[in-house]
Structure 1
Amino acid sequence: MAKPLILVSNDDGITAPGIHMLVKVAKKIGDVVVVAPDSPQSGMGHAITIGNTLRLDKSIALEDLDVEAYECSGTPADCVKLAKFHVLKDRRPDLVVSGINHGSNSSISVLYSGTMSAAIEGAIEGFPAIGFSLCDYGHDADFSHTEEFVEQIIRQAIENGIPENVALNVNFPKKSSEKIKGIKICRQAHAKWQEEFDERLDPNNRRYFWMTGSFVNFDKGEDTDEWALVNNYVSVVPCQFDMTAHHAVARLNNEWEF
């Protein structure tokens, strides 16, 4: 039987250690094609390039893994679009995977995540899709403890499928002396970043701002991604791109007058 075709992307750029680990695992399972940004695109959300050129070139960044790889000047969503319409053409990926991101994409961070935008773009195009992230922002982060779980989740996705129009948001706890307890299917926690903007002056005495802040979790539930990660589980949250607040439709129809 033919191996499954796996499309790999990310938002940290094609030279990031996280994508190296993801490609290494994906190669155990299927044929891999990589289309990833040529530079970091963290926090880009689902941005796409409009009105500017997009460049796509063969890449040697992953040549030690012997895969077909391309680097793109655009966003993660651009990468998946170009992969479908140009690189793969009439080849259909069996799975789109994105990451492994350097930093958490749990709770509200999923909205800002370039990693998840690549996965969501895959789901929009009708492909099963997964975004992987590690709760460690360091460029030299240790991904070794994620390998077995990445492989397990990818195999499950290929063998059992992912619901239509859904992308999985998978987050791993930072490596510690404690062994990961397992995998939890979760909901997105009600949490947010409480931003502050530090006002500074540049050498020309011009004012600029640097965003800082702290993470605040308002959710006390034990079925959330944040609870799972704090308790040393891998969190898996099914996400959809239909952002309709269905529960609010009837209320607005009943209470608003036009």
Structure 2
Amino acid sequence: MTDTARKRILIANDDGIFSPGIRALGLALAEIGDVTVVAPDVEQSAVGHGITIRRPLRFKHTASAGFGDIPAYRVDGTPADCVVLGVHLVGKPDIVVSGINLGPNLGNDLTHSGTVAAAIEGLAFGVPSIAFSQASIPSGEFDFTHAARYAAKLTQEVLARGLPPRTLLNVNFPAGELRGVRVTTLSDHRYEDEIISRQDPDGRDYYWVAGTPKAEYSDTTDYGAVQDGYVSITPVKLDLTYRDFLSEVEGFAPSV
């Protein structure tokens, strides 16, 4: 295996720089490469792939986030902003790693996940990228010991082998110990939205968007693997073109 001791690793997330998940990931990856952490200053869950263009961004060194000697910076922007600033202000890394997210990112979650968006932004720079997320135990607590250890092993493999162009790995961990690893497809995991209507003290309506997660079980999907206690690794290619439908669209598209 290629020596990765001097490889440059940029870590981001969407839960914020003080999240225990990114701290566990940073400390684990520091064993295999030169890590820099660039993360939002506050939680940015479900912001998707937003980029801040209407106001300036702040990029501040943060010594109080528990990373020890690892350089860590917080940004008052989105996860994608963090990768953009990290690449331009710190230097282009050999790999972008996002997470470990507090909660899984399965199936349709990828379209709004800030964790996955940070990895997608890494692809925009031509950098191999991985997104890591973990399910919680029923009480809502997290233990990242097993996940962080495995994340370091997988990151080391990707540093040595590379990934195909425009392809990232979306990795989800179950809560607790890991029964094994499955390479999976995306499930139909989704949230059935519920709109909660309330009124403020002045009698004006406001709304909460809530939802209940739903998915059909299959042991070949990311959802099924995590349900069964396995690590799910899904290769995701950033190419939204429906190529098999091109000729049919050519057949009915009106001329100008």
Aligned to 1:132: 132
**CA distance in 1 between partners of 2:145 and 2:110 (Å):** 23
**Across the two proteins, how many residue pairs are aligned to each other?**
251
User: In the alignment, which residue of structure 1 is the partner of 2:56?
Assistant: 53
The structure 2 residue matched to 1:238, chosen from 225, 235, 242, is 235
Preserved contact between residue 124 and residue 241 of structure 1 (Cα < 8 Å): no
- Is the partner of 1:81 in helix, strand or coil? helix
Give the whole-Å Cα distance in 1 for the aligned partners of 2:238 and 2:56. Answer: 26
Give the deviation of 1:252 after TM superposition. 1.4
Distance 2:191 2:27 in 1: 33
| 2:174 equivalent in structure 1 | 173
Unaligned 5+ residue runs, structure 1? Answer: none
Distance 2:19 2:202 in 1: 34
Residues 148-198 of structure 1, C-alpha deviation per residue, up to 9 Å, x if partnerless? 3112211111121111211111111122xxx42211111111232110101
Within 1, Cα distance between the matches of 2:66 and 2:16? 15
Structure-2 residue corresponding to 1:160: 161
What is the CA–CA distance in structure 1 between the aligned matches of 2:185 and 2:194, rounded to whole Å? 27
| SS of residue matched to 1:22 | helix
Q: Find the aligned partners of 2:31 and 2:203 in 1 and give their Cα distance.
A: 54
- Report the equivalent of 1:186: 184
Give the alignment's TM-score, normalised by structure 2: 0.92
Q: How far 1:80 moved relative to its partner?
A: 0.6
Which of residues 13, 21, 28 in structure 1 aligns to 2:16? 13
2:194 corresponds to 1:196: yes
Q: TM-score, normalising length from structure 1?
A: 0.91
Deviation (angstroms), 1:69:
1.2
Comparing 57-66 and 222-231, the one that deviates more:
57-66
- How much is the aligned-residue C-alpha RMSD, in angstroms? 1.8
Q: Which runs of 5+ in 2 are unaligned?
A: none
Moved over 6 A (4+): none
Q: Say which SS state the counterpart of residue 119 (structure 2) adopts.
A: helix
- Aligned with residue 222 of structure 1, among 205, 219, 223: 219
Q: Give matches, 1:67-146, under 5 Å.
A: 67-88=70-91, 92-136=92-136, 140-146=141-147
Instruction: Give me the identity figure in percent.
Output: 37
